[in-house]
Structure 1
């Protein structure tokens, strides 16, 4: 799946007054993609669903 086909979304906690200051996430069947919302065409990080869940649990 190419990154242009992914459905990117921001957290519901993102501040509407600072729309560029957050990360965006896209969920695919076997990977989670994470990118900087200010630079959507730049490189992004890809992790497994298990790694993403572990990260969120530790926040």
Structure 2
């Protein structure tokens, strides 16, 4: 199971499309960039610089 920290942006949608096409199991965890979601402790653990590249 893949935990996907997702922001509803074009790049975020590309990743979800890939996961669907590849038929991979994933859990979508929405990151609200407008409310500082990229600063939540669970997101900072995977992306200390608060970049969406934490998905990689």
The alignment's TM-score, normalised by the length of structure 2, stands at 0.30
Pick the structure with greater CA Rg: 1
Greater fraction of residues in strand: 1
Greater fraction of residues in helix: 2
The alignment's TM-score, normalised by the length of structure 1, stands at 0.29
